[in-house]
């Protein structure tokens, strides 16, 4: 299990988050599984974890825009 996988598990195991957005944390053991999830909240969590691990500022802006658009499209 990578550092990203462990960080993702910390986020996805939040009881309030998982119950509100109706996902099972154990279904997403790796960041790659989360990227492939049908649940947009799980996908966004994976993107944010990946962003935190990336020091490239241009990549951070790209991921921020992608995350914002994904949330806007799927949750608003």
Q: How many residues does the chain have?
A: 76
Q: How buried is 49 (Cβ within 10 angstroms: 0-12 exposed, 13-18 middle, 19+ buried)?
A: buried
Q: Which H or E run includes 75?
A: helix 57-75
Residue-wise DSSP of 1-67: --HHHHHHHHHHT-HHHHHHTT--GGG--SHHHHHT-SSHHHHHHHHHHHHHH---HHHHHHHHHHH
pLDDT in tens, 18-70: 998 899 999 999 999 999 999 999 998 998 888 877 666 677 677 777 777 77
pLDDT of residue 60: 67
pTM for the whole structure = 0.74
pLDDT tens-digit series, residues 6-27: 989 988 999 988 998 899 999 9
């Amino acid at each position: 299990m990578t550092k990203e996988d462990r960080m993702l598990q910390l986020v996805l195991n939040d009881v309030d988050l998982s119950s509100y957005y109706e996902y099972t944390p154990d279904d997403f053991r790796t960041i790659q599984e989360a990227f492939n999830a049908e649940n947009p909240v799980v996908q966004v969590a994976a993107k944010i974890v990946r962003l935190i691990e990336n020091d490239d500022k241009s990549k951070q802006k790209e991921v921020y825009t992608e995350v914002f658009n994904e949330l806007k499209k799927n949750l608003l």
